[in-house]
Structure formats: structure tokens, C-alpha cells
């Protein structure tokens, strides 16, 4: 082989490896999967970024996904101390006669509240849901008012509950959206982790005369070790629904599927969602709550510097391989002039990727700063007049 041939071969080899490097550095994120369901969503738990979406604000009947809110209300009451796991709950005729999926509690019996809660979480018991509602609020109707108030507080703008079970409501609107269910599931996981832990229990046995073992309807608990909740639902009106959450390498995702055509379809759709998110995205905690992001000049104060921070932990979700390319940008609202109150907004922190804003958070005063003495105020006033 002559020298010219050697050179051509070396150029070809260099070109091949250079192209491979460029391909690896510029990871291509494929389009989100298309799923056979009326509405679906995939959200990162920490950043809130939506990675997959379709009709996420469309109002739909939620079937037993309703019980996520029932559980949330029970968890809230437990947290406040108005009820306890050891409470003996009386089973009314209404609870006993509730149709649909059942825990098989007996009329006029006393059931421990913890057992009823497990009956809702694991067995999706409509009878248990009504019994809990009546125990907490005296009637299911009043309990529904609590459900709707919590929905309002959580920002579930397109949700209206009519019962605690998810059974079709004839005379009232009983609707929610995939987006609202993601917000609710996120709140349950974050605010009541001990209650959420119960969602990965695969089976529960209950019965006074003859114990009945029932299995968790979320079959992903058996198929994917990273899945630890949340809830299934099905009625003829709603179709097959599933809210699933999984955590891998400290990254938690929430998938919502509504209106699938079967149990296998909702499980496949949920698994597809989760696998896509974990494969092609990564989430990082950029700043902790209270971290000092920057310090800025403050005028007419006894001090020259004001430290700016973020209120909450600041997470960001980006395509895999892009984390090191992130840039931060601080934009102040105005010149900062004392007095300043702690947590007053002073600007915004933007995170950029390829010159596009991919996340942002308000910048807040780390501490209060009082007005300076008359000399400092006068000096800064002159400076601002001359150099503004």
C-alpha cells in the first residue's frame, strides 16, 4: 500500500471515530410514544416537567382513581390527629350495600380504620371508602365537600368529585383530568410518605367469618420492581385507568393513563411511559431550598450586599447527556433599595439549554434589610441620580 493509500485510510478512520463522537455528544431524544388511551401523561415528580402528554386537561370520569383523593383526605386527617389507625369504624347499611369492588366488610360490624384504609388501597373497596368517609365526616356527602376543597387547595382546576368511590354519578359531575391526577399523586407521595408506602402492598386478607385474600389491582407491582404505586380504576364509562409511579436512581416519575381499552393495555401504556422517561431523561437537584444563588448590590442600607435564594429545592429534568450544557442567568426586577423584607421577590433565576429557558424560579431575599442611616441614604441617592 503506497503513502497516498495510507493517508486516505487514516482519514476514513478519523472521520468514522469523529462522527461517532459527535453522535454520542448530541444525543437524540425520540418523539414521545403514542399510547392507545383517551388521555395520558408522564411527569417528573421533583421538577414537575411533563415529558409525555395527550389531552391532559380533558375532563374524564376517573373511576376508582377517585380513591387517590379519598386516601389523601384520610391521610390528612390522620396527620392532624382527628382520627387514628386504631379507631373502630362502624359499617353502615349504605357502606355495606355499595356496589362495585369490595373489601367485604359486614353490616353493623366494627372495623379498624387501618384495615379499611388497606381495603381501599389494596383491594379498591368501595364499601371501605364509604365507611371511611362516614367515619370522618358523618356522611359521604360532607366528605365529598372535603375532597373538593382539597382539590381546590392543590390546584386541581378541572376536578369535581361527587362521591368517594368513583362509581358513576347520575345527578352530579364527577370528573377530573390526567394533569390534576398527577398533581394529586405528587401531593400524596410528598406529603404523606408513610401512607404512600402502603400502595406497594401486593395482597391483603380480611374477613371476620371467612378471611378473603385479594390482590392489588396494579399488576405493575409484580412486573417492574421500580413501581411502588399508585392506583387502578375501571368502569364502563371511564374505561381502564392507571396512575403508576416508579423510582429509579433517585428519579421518580408519575404516569397517568385514562381510557385504555383493557387491563393489559393500561399496564403496557404505563410501562411504555415510564421506560421512555427513564431512558431518555435525567433529573438533577440544582439548588437546595435556602441556597445562596447570588448576591447583589442593595441601596440606601447599612449593608451593601443582599443575598438571593430560592424558596424550594430546585430540580430540573433535561434530555440525557445535556446536563453539563446548562447555563444559569439571573435577572433582577429592579434596582434593590432598602427596606427589604425576608422572602421578598427581587428577580428570577433562569436555566438555559442551547439559549432556551428550560426552567425558572423566583429569586427571594435571604433576610430582611432595614434602611440605612441618613448618611448612607443620602450618599446612595446622589449616586443613583448621577449614574442611573
Query: Same domain, yes or no, for 207 and 238?
Result: yes
Distances (CA, A) of 314 to 49, 50, 192, 281, 289: 12, 16, 21, 17, 7
Task: Tell me the three cell numbers of residue 247.
Answer: 423510582
Last residue of a domain, one of 222, 248, 280: 280
Among positive and negative, which fits the CA dihedral 185, 189, 190, 192? positive
363: nearest Cα among 317, 322, 309, 323: 309
Query: Same domain, yes or no, for 86 and 187?
Result: yes
Query: Same domain, yes or no, for 236 and 316?
Result: no
3-state helix, strand, coil in the chain (%, to 5): 35, 30, 35
> Who wins on pLDDT, 228 or 380?
228
Query: Same domain, yes or no, for 298 and 265?
Result: no
The whole-number pLDDT of residue 7 equals 40
Enumerate residues 6+ apart whose C-beta is below 8 A from 326: 286, 316, 318, 351, 352, 353, 358
The whole-number pLDDT of residue 210 equals 86
Task: Tell me the three cell numbers of residue 79.
Answer: 396527620
Distance of CA 27 to the CA centre of its chain: 27
pTM above 0.85?
Answer: yes
pLDDT for 22 beyond 60: no
Report the C-alpha gap between 117 and 103 in whole angstroms.
10
Query: Same domain, yes or no, for 192 and 250?
Result: yes
Strand ranges, E, within the chain:
39-44, 50-54, 88-90, 110-112, 203-206, 212-215, 227-235, 239-248, 251-260, 281-287, 292-297, 305-309, 314-319, 327-332, 345-353, 356-365
Report the C-alpha gap between 274 and 281 in whole angstroms.
11
Q: Is residue 22 part of a domain?
A: no
Q: Is residue 27 part of a domain?
A: no
Confidence of residue 388 (pLDDT cuts 50, 70, 90): low
Confidence of residue 9 (pLDDT cuts 50, 70, 90): very low
The whole-number pLDDT of residue 287 equals 96
Query: Same domain, yes or no, for 326 and 268?
Result: no
Give tens-digit pLDDT for 177-206.
999 999 999 999 999 999 999 999 999 999
Last residue of a domain, one of 250, 280, 310: 280
Q: Is residue 48 part of a domain?
A: yes
In the chain, % of residues over pLDDT 90: 83
Query: Same domain, yes or no, for 46 and 194?
Result: yes
Report the C-alpha gap between 125 and 116 in whole angstroms.
8
Confidence of residue 81 (pLDDT cuts 50, 70, 90): very high
The whole-number pLDDT of residue 381 equals 82
Q: Is residue 2 part of a domain?
A: no
> Which amino acids are annotated catalytic?
64, 67, 124
What mean pLDDT is predicted for residues 314-323? 96
Query: Same domain, yes or no, for 293 and 272?
Result: no
Query: Which CATH number goes with the domain that contains 120?
Result: 3.40.710.10
Last residue of a domain, one of 246, 280, 314: 280
pLDDT for 343 beyond 60: yes
Confidence of residue 208 (pLDDT cuts 50, 70, 90): confident
Task: Tell me the three cell numbers of residue 352.
Answer: 438555559
| Integer Rg of the chain from CA | 27
Query: Same domain, yes or no, for 179 and 214?
Result: yes
Q: Are 168 and 125 in contact (CB under 8 A)?
A: no
DSSP label of 199: G
The whole-number pLDDT of residue 5 equals 44
> Who wins on pLDDT, 350 or 6?
350
The whole-number pLDDT of residue 379 equals 80
Q: Is residue 4 part of a domain?
A: no
Give tens-digit pLDDT for 272-299.
999 999 999 999 999 999 999 999 999 9
- Averaged pLDDT score across all residues of the chain: 91
Report the C-alpha gap between 351 and 154 in whole angstroms.
26
What mean pLDDT is predicted for residues 127-132? 98
Among positive and negative, which fits the CA dihedral 245, 233, 265, 257? negative
The whole-number pLDDT of residue 218 equals 97
Query: Same domain, yes or no, for 293 and 258?
Result: no
Confidence of residue 342 (pLDDT cuts 50, 70, 90): very high
Q: Is residue 25 part of a domain?
A: no
321: nearest Cα among 353, 344, 298: 353
Return the minimum-mean-pLDDT range out of 4-18, 163-177, 181-195. Answer: 4-18
Report the C-alpha gap between 219 and 198 in whole angstroms.
15
pLDDT for 236 beyond 60: yes
Task: Tell me the three cell numbers of residue 4.
Answer: 497516498
Query: Same domain, yes or no, for 333 and 213?
Result: no
Report the C-alpha gap between 282 and 251 in whole angstroms.
7
Query: Same domain, yes or no, for 62 and 170?
Result: yes
**Whole domain around residue 309: which residue ranges?**
288-387
Q: Are 82 and 73 in contact (CB under 8 A)?
A: no
Q: Is residue 17 part of a domain?
A: no
Please give the full DSSP string across 15-70, using - where no structure is assigned: HHHHHHHHHHHSPPPPPPPP-SSSEEEEEETTT--EEEEESTT--B--GGGGHHHH
Query: Which CATH number goes with the domain that contains 365?
Result: 2.60.410.10
Q: Is residue 7 part of a domain?
A: no
What mean pLDDT is predicted for residues 303-320? 95
Q: Are 318 and 282 in contact (CB under 8 A)?
A: yes
The whole-number pLDDT of residue 23 equals 33
Please give the tally of structural domains in the chain: 2
pLDDT for 235 beyond 60: yes
Please give the full DSSP string across 202-213, using - where no structure is assigned: -EEEE-SSS-EE
Amino acid at each position: 500500500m503506497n503513502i497516498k493509500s495510507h493517508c486516505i485510510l487514516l482519514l476514513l478512520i478519523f472521520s468514522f471515530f469523529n462522527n461517532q463522537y459527535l453522535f454520542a455528544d448530541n444525543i437524540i431524544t425520540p418523539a414521545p410514544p403514542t399510547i392507545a388511551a383517551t388521555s395520558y401523561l408522564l411527569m417528573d415528580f421533583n421538577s414537575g416537567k411533563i415529558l409525555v402528554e395527550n389531552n391532559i386537561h380533558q375532563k374524564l370520569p376517573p373511576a376508582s382513581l377517585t380513591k387517590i383523593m379519598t386516601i389523601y383526605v384520610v391521610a390528612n386527617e390522620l396527620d392532624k390527629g382527628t382520627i387514628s389507625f386504631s379507631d373502630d369504624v362502624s359499617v353502615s347499611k349504605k357502606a355495606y350495600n355499595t356496589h362495585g369492588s369490595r373489601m367485604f366488610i359486614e353490616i353493623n360490624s366494627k372495623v379498624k380504620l387501618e384495615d379499611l384504609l388497606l381495603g381501599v388501597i389494596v383491594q379498591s373497596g368501595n364499601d371501605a371508602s364509604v365507611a371511611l368517609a362516614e367515619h370522618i365526616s358523618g356522611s359521604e356527602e360532607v366528605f365529598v365537600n372535603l375532597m373538593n376543597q382539597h382539590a381546590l387547595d392543590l390546584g386541581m382546576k378541572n376536578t369535581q368529585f361527587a362521591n368517594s368511590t368513583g362509581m358513576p354519578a347520575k345527578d352530579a359531575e364527577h370528573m377530573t383530568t390526567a394533569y390534576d391526577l398527577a398533581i394529586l399523586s405528587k401531593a400524596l407521595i410528598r406529603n404523606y410518605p408513610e401512607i404512600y408506602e402502603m400502595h406497594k402492598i401486593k395482597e391483603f386478607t380480611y374477613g371476620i367469618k371467612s378471611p378473603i385474600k385479594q390482590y392489588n389491582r396494579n399488576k405493575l407491582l409484580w412486573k417492574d420492581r421500580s413501581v411502588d404505586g399508585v392506583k387502578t380504576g375501571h368502569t364502563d364509562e371511564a374505561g381502564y385507568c392507571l396512575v403508576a409511579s416508579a423510582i429509579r436512581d433517585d428519579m421518580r416519575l408519575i404516569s397517568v393513563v385514562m381510557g385504555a381499552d383493557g387491563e393489559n393495555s393500561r399496564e403496557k401504556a404505563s410501562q411504555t411511559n415510564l421506560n421512555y422517561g427513564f431512558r431518555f431523561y435525567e433529573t438533577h437537584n440544582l439548588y437546595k431550598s435556602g441556597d445562596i444563588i447570588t448576591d447583589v448590590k442593595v441601596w440606601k442600607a447599612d449593608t451593601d450586599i443582599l443575598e438571593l435564594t430560592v424558596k424550594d429545592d430546585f430540580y430540573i429534568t433535561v434530555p440525557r447527556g445535556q446536563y453539563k450544557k446548562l447555563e444559569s442567568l439571573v435577572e433582577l426586577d429592579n434596582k434593590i433599595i432598602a427596606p427589604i423584607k425576608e422572602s421578598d421577590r427581587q428577580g428570577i433565576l433562569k436555566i438555559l439549554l442551547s439559549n432556551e429557558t428550560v426552567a425558572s424560579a423566583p429569586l427571594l431575599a435571604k433576610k430582611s434589610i432595614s434602611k440605612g442611616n441618613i448618611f448612607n441614604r443620602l450618599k446612595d441617592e446622589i449616586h443613583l441620580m448621577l449614574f442611573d
